[in-house]
C-alpha cells in the first residue's frame, strides 16, 4: 500500500513555482558586481526587486527601508564598494518578497510600470 504524500507549495511571485528561478536574476546580479561582465541588465534586476518591495511594503517597515536603500544604491553607478550594502538590503527584500501572494506582486508590478510609463510620457 502506498502512502499519499502531502505536497507543500510555496507562494511565489508571478506563478513561478521554483524559488531559484525567482531569486536567480537578483543573485546573479549581486555576484556580477565588481566583475567585468556586470551590465545594465544586472543593475535593472536589482532595481526591480527594490521597486516592487517598495510598492508592497508598509511605509516605515524594515522591508520598505531596505528597498529604499537598495533603490538608492541601484540608481547610481554600482561599484564593488557597494556590494556588501546591496547584499544586506537584498537579503532583507528577497525572502520577504517570496512569501507575498501572487496577486499582490502582480498589482505592484502594474503600479510600478504605470508610474514609470506616466513619467516617460
Give how far Cα 21 sits from Cα of 13, 15, 24, 35, 120, Å.
10, 11, 5, 22, 30
Summarised one tens digit per residue, pLDDT across range 35-47 is 999 999 999 999 9
Q: Where are the domains of the chain?
A: 18-120
pTM score of the predicted model: 0.78
Q: Which DSSP string corresponds to 7-45?
A: ------GGG---HHHHHHHHHHHHHHTTSTT--HHHHHH
**pLDDT for residue 14 is more than 50:** no
Summarised one tens digit per residue, pLDDT across range 67-120 is 999 999 999 999 999 999 999 999 999 989 888 888 888 888 889 989 888 888
Non-local CB neighbours of 70 within 8 Å, separated by 6+ positions: 46, 47, 49, 50, 53, 86, 89, 90, 93
Output the nine-digit C-alpha cell for 20: 531559484
Summarised one tens digit per residue, pLDDT across range 35-79 is 999 999 999 999 999 999 999 999 999 999 999 999 999 999 999
Amino acid at each position: 500500500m502506498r502512502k499519499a504524500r502531502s505536497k507543500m507549495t510555496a507562494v511565489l511571485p508571478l506563478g513561478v513555482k521554483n524559488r531559484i528561478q525567482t531569486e536567480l536574476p537578483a543573485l546573479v546580479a549581486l555576484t556580477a558586481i565588481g566583475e567585468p561582465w556586470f551590465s545594465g541588465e544586472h543593475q535593472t534586476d536589482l532595481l526591480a526587486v527594490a521597486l516592487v518591495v517598495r510598492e508592497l511594503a508598509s511605509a516605515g517597515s524594515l522591508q520598505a527601508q531596505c528597498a529604499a536603500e537598495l533603490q538608492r544604491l541601484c540608481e547610481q553607478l554600482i561599484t564593488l564598494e557597494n556590494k556588501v550594502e546591496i547584499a544586506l538590503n537584498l537579503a532583507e527584500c528577497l525572502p520577504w518578497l517570496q512569501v507575498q501572494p501572487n496577486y499582490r506582486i502582480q498589482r505592484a508590478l502594474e503600479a510600478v510600470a504605470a508610474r514609470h510609463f506616466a513619467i516617460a510620457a
